Amino acid sequence: MKPLTLEQAANRIMVALDYPDAMAAKQLMMQLEGIPCYMKVGMQMFYAAGPDFVRELKDRGYRVFLDVKMHDIPNTVKGGSNSVTKLGVDMFNVHAAGGSQMLKAAMEGVRDALNADSKLEMPTVIAVTQLTSTSEQMMNEEIGIQGAVRDSVVRYARLTKEAGLHGVVASPQEVALIKQACGEDFKTITPGIRPAGSAIGDQSRVMTPEQAFAEGTDYVVIGRPITAASSPREALESILEGLM
C-alpha cells in the first residue's frame, strides 16, 4: 500500500459511534474535531437519537455511514432506502441475505428519492455479507449455511454487484477474494479492525488497519479501540500515523 496523506487516511476510517445516546457521541465528536473521518451511526445510536442526530453530523461536515442493516421484504426495504437517501446519508447498508429482489428494491428506493429531489446525492449502497462475529462453525451449525465463510461471502458479493449495489461489508480476510470476483471498483468496507495490541472482543475475523489496507480494502470501521480509549483523539492519530 502506498503511504497516504493525513486527509486520505482519515477519509478511509469510519469511527463507530456505538454509544447509548447522542450526548456521549457528541463528546467524542468534540475530541475528534478537525479530523475528516467518516462517522458510522449504528442501530443503537440511530434508535436512540434518530434522524436529527444524522442531520447534526452532516451539518458539522462529517460524512455519515448509516449502519442499520436493512433486511425485510423488498417493498419495505425500498421505503427504508428512500427515507435514508432523503436524510442525506453518504452510505448505508442492507443484508445481502435478503436476496436479489430485495437488493434491487433498495436501489429503486434510492433512485426514487433522487428523482424527487435533484439536490440529493447518490449514497454508496452496500450489503452485509457475513458478520465479522460469525465463525465458520456458527455459520454451518447455527445459521445453516454449509461450506467456508469465504465462499459464502464471495457468493453474496457477486449477488450484490449483480443487483447494482456499490459494495459490501466483509471481514478484511475476504477483501482480496471479493476484489478478484467483483473488480477493484467494487467497494469493501471492513469492520473487525483491531490495531496491534487491542483486545479482539466479540470479533472472530480481524486484522490491523495496516493489514486491511494492504489487502486492498477501501474503508475500515474502528470502534472500541478509539471510542473506549482514554484519549480517543490520540488513539485515532496513532492509527493514522501508522498509515502514512
List the catalytic residues: 69
Phi, psi at residue 228, to the nearest 5°? -95, 5
State the pairing for strand pair 91-95/38-42: unpaired
C-alpha cell of 229? 480509549
The burial of 198, by beta-carbon neighbours within 10 Å (0-12 exposed, 13-18 middle, 19 or more buried), is given as: middle
128 HSE (CA, 13 A, CB side) = 18
Phi, psi of 17 (to 5 degrees): -85, 70
State the Cα–Cα distance between residues 64 and 35, nearest whole angstrom: 14
